[in-house]
Structure 1
Amino acid sequence: MESGIDVILDKWELKEGHDSIAFMEKMVTDPTIAKVAVISDRKYAEKADGRVSGVGTETQIISREVYEKQDQNKFVAVLPERDEEGKPYLPTYYKGRIYIDLSSPENYASEFERLVRWVFDKPLHVKPEVGKPPTFLDEEPAKSLGTSVSFRRALDALKNGRPFVEGAVDEYLTTFAENMERFRITLDNSKEADEQVADSIDEFTPYKNEFVQVMLAIAQYAANDDMQKKLHRFFEQLLPYLDRPENMSSQHSWDFDNFKFIVHELYLYAIAILIRYERFAFSDRLLATPYYVSSNANRGRDATATFSEFREYMESFQGRDKKLGRLSSRADLLKQRADSSGFDFKWLLQADFVLYLRATLNDDYYVRWWPETLVYATRSYGPMEIFARSRSASYYREVSKILGGVSAEDLKAHVKELQTDQQELPKWQFERIAPGVLTGIDKLASTP
């Protein structure tokens, strides 16, 4: 009544001398009676099924109305209680129909709202009008990596510690790597190559975002040796996409530029996420373990490669830089994609810088890493977060693992050497990075 509903209740309406059967029939047949709520507790359900007393008569009236008329929205059972097993007390004629459950104090408010909405024919969930078919149905079907099911299974397994987590992650990574071939592009000479490459990279975005979510879950819940091995094998499977396939007799130098960007981005995210969650030993194993190169005949080098293979030059974007007037359109695209994904770009910067330092600490001439994103760090005035924290010697001992275990003193000497050789420092026109600033070298490991 307080909710604006005029209630006709037998205790209020039936007086001495009134015909109870006529009253019950009126509740069913009177067009002014919009709704009938059947308060079905244990006694009511028993009397209804046994056709006992007034409830039995009422049941005969209602059940005929319920079964003979298509519009069954006039009646609803309301439960004030359940049996010892938690089952509802409902008369046989009503079973299988939806009811309103006021038996639980925890759900009373929401169920009472359902009751009021039922009376006023204002359901909470309203079927929307049928709109026009979306325009994308008329477009060419988008490429699919085919990872949707394995992605959800892997993510659930990682977050909830399922016993099949290793198999689920392995299935996802294997499907991902094998189906990358679907994104191989055949350049159209009538269109600008860099635009075709950029379009392919954009089309791959949902799968990059899937990988980021799986990588975040691995870093948080399963940063163990088995996961490191699975990730290592995964990146090994991606290396062949950076080369000409054996069945391809000719190529343009930019035919694989979309793969060069995608593989580089995935590797950068993997290291960035591991740094974000301080999985330094895990990162070190990923960087230190050689990668088997199955397409080594094309490379003409050893059968194994280092992490530096995951960043390769993109010829098509050299022209894009000139066209857009940018120092690095590749770095711009990496930043835009990070910003739109919700993952803080600063971690990609730190990963790129760490990879650059680790490569320059290596004596092997072929181990080189161009820190693409650091064009955004050329005007930094303070150390990156992991190096700011490395003011503590104990913290630096952990960070040093991702740098190959180099001591603080050796890193200081190395950074000073980098800064004295300006020609070797990464630069974009007149912009250069300052390794001493980015590492906070003067205060590195200066406190316990």
Structure 2
Amino acid sequence: MNPPKLFISYSWSNPDHEKKVVDIATELRESGVDVILDKWDLKEGNDAITFMEKMVTDPELKKVAIICDEKYASKADGRAGGVGTETQIISKEVYDNQGQDKFVAVVFEKDEHGKAYLPTYYKSRIYIDLSVEDKYSDNFDQLLRWIYDKPLYIKPKIGNTPSFLSENPQKSLGTTALFNRCIDAIKNDKPHAIGTVDEYFSKFTEGLEQFRIEKTAEAFDDDVMGSIDAFLPYRNQAIQLFTTISKYAQNENLTHHLHRFFESLIPYMDRPKNVNQYMEWDYDNFRFIIHELFLYSIAIFLKNDRITQANYLLQNQYYIPTNDGGKASMANFSIFWKDVRSLDYRNSRLQLNRISLRADLLKERSASTGIDFIHLMQADFVAFMRFEIEPNDDYYYWLPETLAYLGPFNNPFEIFSRSTSKSYFEKSKILLNIESVEDLEPLLNSYKDGSRQLPRLSYRGWSPSALIGYEKLATRP
């Protein structure tokens, strides 16, 4: 492979500047570049202008480095004399008529404001800065990469269109612009943050109707899986918003608005008005999606140590409107866990033999969120224990299906490991709605003596006492 050729254009400003040019030319040749420089290649009796014109316009010479200092920029812009120099050879017309990847400005000098001296025709182009000693090495490497056409960042190949876009291109919540406004308003504590978040939640809720499944002749569980997959970008968007609220929101009123958002999603979990013939699993996609969103909200608040906010969502009841003119009612957070029977059917139809297909999906889908699955498991367990401790209507339940991934060792979750500290326990105990460690004893004993049954979530069994770290709660200062 022939070494790349480079012509160096510069101004004979002063002996020090010329020495710097020779030094960089030498360094480039030592790096495998065939540098053409007047001091080496222009011999006595040669025509300087012809030599320089050939170097600049020769199509076989692919690279020209323009060494820029104050004098070069001044001459190039016609503000100083000196006929027969490269600054007249590389005019705007010559520069524009050559391929732009042939030239690069290498800045040796800046003005008192830190602005690079550049010819006017080059002002809008990216240059290589060798004027700062601390960055010289990195920027010299940048120059070498340009000469060798080996950029540091290579544009990756274009992949295939995501399946959820090609299969359901018409389905869009239309929330992207509002989402971006929400993130900016919350992070910068703008006065309109709450209003913007409410707009986003309203748009989200209204747009969810687009994901209602139309009955097909195919297996309905395939439709449910397809809808859940198609919704993934909007789930990720909501997760980012929950995370931003938990990290940056100065106004805790946003948690109240998040509570109302979840309340607005409840009607999607059952038959809509004016629908009389239906199967219970007609709404399984919504049941999975809404449960997943609620679980992430709790997980994110706990992960970011926003215990009061997580408790708000667990403590406050949710309004359930009626579809048939009957009496509306209230329910606790367990309204967001409902059996997704189409997944049970799928497990059986495909002979998958999984303990919980919902748990499998939650784990698979957590990979793209930035929230480790262990945080979902922790949120699921906290919700289960809160449900078990409080008196509940028999109509609802909370099954912590993610605990199917506990494994052989039931170590305490982070929130309870931290609660070995008395001060942290005083902060975290509201999650379980208890006043003291002893308040847990009747429930934990009922699991041990069998008077209360734990849901079967693994082949090995599991221990709430171990996951809470009951023996060590509040044992340290």
Q: Superposed, which structure 2 residues align to 1:140-289 within 5 Å?
A: 141=169, 143-159=171-187, 165-188=193-216, 190-222=217-249, 224-289=251-316
1:392 paired residue among 415, 418, 421: 421
1:391-429: CA deviation from partner (whole Å, max 9, x where unpaired): 333322222111124322222123223544545432369
Q: Residues 345 and 422 from structure 1, CA distance in 2 versus in 1: closer, same or farther, beyond 3 angstroms? A: farther
1:65-105: CA deviation from partner (whole Å, max 9, x where unpaired): 60684545554443211222333323445555554433334
Q: In structure 2, how many angstroms separate the alpha carbons of the residues matched to 1:126 and 1:346?
A: 35
Q: Residues 15 and 147 from structure 1, CA distance in 2 versus in 1: closer, same or farther, beyond 3 angstroms? A: same
Match of 2:339 in 1: 313
Letter in 2 for 1:81: E
Q: Superposed, which structure 2 residues align to 1:18-57 within 5 Å?
A: 19-28=47-56, 35-50=63-78, 52-55=80-83
Q: Give 1:256 deviation, angstroms.
A: 0.7
SS of the equivalent of 2:82 reads helix
1:347 paired residue among 362, 367, 375: 375
SS of the equivalent of 2:106 reads strand
Letter in 2 for 1:408: V
The answer as to 2:388 corresponding to 1:360 is: yes
With 178-187 and 218-227 compared, the bigger mean Cα shift is at 218-227
Work out whether residues 228 and 285 of structure 2, in 8 Å CA contact, stay in contact via their aligned partners in 1: yes
Letter in 2 for 1:397: E
Q: Give 1:184 deviation, angstroms.
A: 0.9
2:107 paired residue among 79, 100, 103: 79
Letter in 1 for 2:340: M
Work out whether residues 53 and 89 of structure 2, in 8 Å CA contact, stay in contact via their aligned partners in 1: yes
With 71-80 and 233-242 compared, the bigger mean Cα shift is at 71-80
Q: In structure 2, how many angstroms separate the alpha carbons of the residues matched to 1:143 and 1:341?
A: 21
Match of 1:6 in 2: 34
Q: Residues 61 and 363 from structure 1, CA distance in 2 versus in 1: closer, same or farther, beyond 3 angstroms? A: closer
Q: In structure 1, how many angstroms separate the alpha carbons of the residues matched to 2:307 and 2:363?
A: 24
Letter in 2 for 1:187: K
1:288-347: CA deviation from partner (whole Å, max 9, x where unpaired): 222222x32459554332212111222323433444333332233333333564533333
Q: Give 1:156 deviation, angstroms.
A: 4.8
1:350-389: CA deviation from partner (whole Å, max 9, x where unpaired): 3222222222322343564233333445965444333343
Q: In structure 2, how many angstroms separate the alpha carbons of the residues matched to 1:351 and 1:209?
A: 18
Q: Give 1:230 deviation, angstroms.
A: 1.8
Q: Residues 393 and 302 from structure 1, CA distance in 2 versus in 1: closer, same or farther, beyond 3 angstroms? A: farther
Work out whether residues 40 and 80 of structure 1, in 8 Å CA contact, stay in contact via their aligned partners in 2: yes
For structure 1, list consecutive stretches of 5 or more residues without a partner in the other structure.
none
Q: Residues 56 and 168 from structure 1, CA distance in 2 versus in 1: closer, same or farther, beyond 3 angstroms? A: farther
State the TM-score, normalized to the length of structure 2.
Answer: 0.79
Q: Give 1:228 deviation, angstroms.
A: 0.9
Letter in 2 for 1:266: L
Work out whether residues 446 and 452 of structure 2, in 8 Å CA contact, stay in contact via their aligned partners in 1: no
Work out whether residues 51 and 57 of structure 1, in 8 Å CA contact, stay in contact via their aligned partners in 2: no
Work out whether residues 223 and 282 of structure 1, in 8 Å CA contact, stay in contact via their aligned partners in 2: no
Match of 2:7 in 1: none
Q: Give 1:214 deviation, angstroms.
A: 2.5
Letter in 1 for 2:463: A
The answer as to 2:400 corresponding to 1:374 is: no
1:244-274: CA deviation from partner (whole Å, max 9, x where unpaired): 1114332111111111111111111211222
Q: Give 1:123 deviation, angstroms.
A: 5.2
SS of the equivalent of 1:216 reads helix
SS of the equivalent of 1:150 reads helix
Letter in 2 for 1:63: S
Q: In structure 2, how many angstroms separate the alpha carbons of the residues matched to 1:273 and 1:132?
A: 31
Q: In structure 1, how many angstroms separate the alpha carbons of the residues matched to 2:458 and 2:149?
A: 69
| Root mean square deviation of aligned Cα | 3.7
SS of the equivalent of 1:325 reads coil
For structure 2, list consecutive stretches of 5 or more residues without a partner in the other structure.
1-28
SS of the equivalent of 1:255 reads helix
Q: In structure 1, how many angstroms separate the alpha carbons of the residues matched to 2:451 and 2:377?
A: 21
Q: In structure 2, how many angstroms separate the alpha carbons of the residues matched to 1:314 and 1:393?
A: 40
SS of the equivalent of 1:292 reads strand
Q: Residues 299 and 427 from structure 1, CA distance in 2 versus in 1: closer, same or farther, beyond 3 angstroms? A: farther
